């Protein structure tokens, strides 16, 4: 099963990706995680990506495409994969289409997780993350045992620059202007499954399974 998850930042794509990864026993490929790894290691690519991410802008295609290509031809993607946060633009989508056609593994379905902007802002403004192990928390949905301390490794939690309210608003503007057209792109291929992303994690999970025909 080869899937793409679409939706605004904070729509819950990552949470659903974890469920799908276990369901189909396939890896999730998140460009956000790839970039954050480079940022934590302070690589040249990480420094350049961080400038865009901190401003709520999309990382340019040339910094993304080669990493994704190298990742999807690895052995653990032989039976499928979940793309979370990629593609984000029509040029990226067309490049991905060509890449997958070349290796004979086209996308099966595109899940479009729909959440209103005001809900996105509330979700992301309440989010914190562990800078050491990457575990994430939320004041409404996943609260740490000791306030401000990671349950997994006892590191002090932080709020990412790209989760702050003003940055979130900028990211949503970028999404609506540049990423939303992807839905039309994949609808032309009859691959889009629209998911209502408002509700509990279990409620959204049930909608995803129903859309994919999973009991």
Active-site residue set: 13, 88, 127, 160, 171
> CA-based diameter of the chain, in Å?
50
Pairwise CA distance, residues 142 & 150, whole Å = 11
Q: List C-alpha distances in Å: 171 to 8, 19, 20, 57, 154.
A: 8, 25, 25, 6, 30
Q: Is 86 known to sit in a ligand binding site?
A: yes
Q: Is 35 known to sit in a ligand binding site?
A: no
Q: Is 6 known to sit in a ligand binding site?
A: no
Q: Is 207 known to sit in a ligand binding site?
A: no
Q: Is 11 known to sit in a ligand binding site?
A: yes
Q: Is 77 known to sit in a ligand binding site?
A: no
Angle, helices 31-40 vs 61-72, to 10°: value is 110
Q: Is 171 known to sit in a ligand binding site?
A: yes
Decide the pairing of beta strands 2-6 and 109-114.
Answer: parallel
Single out the residue of 138, 185, 177, 184 nearest to residue 56, CA to CA: 177
Annotated binding-site residues for ATP read 10-15, 127, 136-137, 199
Residue stretches of the annotated binding site for AMP: 31, 36, 57-59, 85-88, 92, 160, 171
Binding-site annotation, residues: 10-15, 31, 36, 57-59, 85-88, 92, 127, 130, 133, 136-137, 150, 153, 160, 171, 199
Residues placed in the known binding site for Zn(2+): 130, 133, 150, 153
């Amino acid at each position: 099963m080869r899937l793409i998850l679409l939706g605004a930042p904070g729509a819950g794509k990552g949470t659903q990706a974890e469920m799908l990864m276990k369901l189909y026993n396939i890896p999730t490929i998140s460009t956000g995680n790839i970039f954050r790894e480079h940022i934590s290691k302070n690589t040249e690519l990480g420094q350049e990506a961080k400038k865009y991410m901190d401003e709520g802008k999309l990382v340019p295609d040339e910094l993304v495409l080669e990493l994704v290509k190298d990742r999807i031809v690895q052995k653990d993607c032989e039976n499928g994969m979940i793309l979370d946060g990629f593609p984000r633009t029509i040029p990226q989508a067309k490049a991905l289409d060509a890449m997958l056609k070349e290796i004979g593994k086209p996308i099966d379905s595109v899940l479009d997780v729909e959440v209103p902007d005001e809900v996105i802002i509330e979700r992301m403004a309440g989010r914190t993350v562990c800078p050491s192990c990457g575990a994430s928390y939320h004041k409404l949905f996943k609260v740490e045992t000791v306030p401000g301390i990671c349950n997994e490794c006892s590191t002090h939690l932080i709020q990412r620059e790209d989760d702050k309210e003003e940055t979130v608003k900028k990211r949503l503007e970028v999404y609506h202007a540049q990423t939303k057209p992807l839905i039309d792109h994949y609808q032309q291929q009859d691959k889009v499954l629209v998911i209502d992303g408002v509700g509990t994690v279990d409620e959204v999970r049930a909608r995803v399974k129903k859309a994919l025909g999973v009991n």
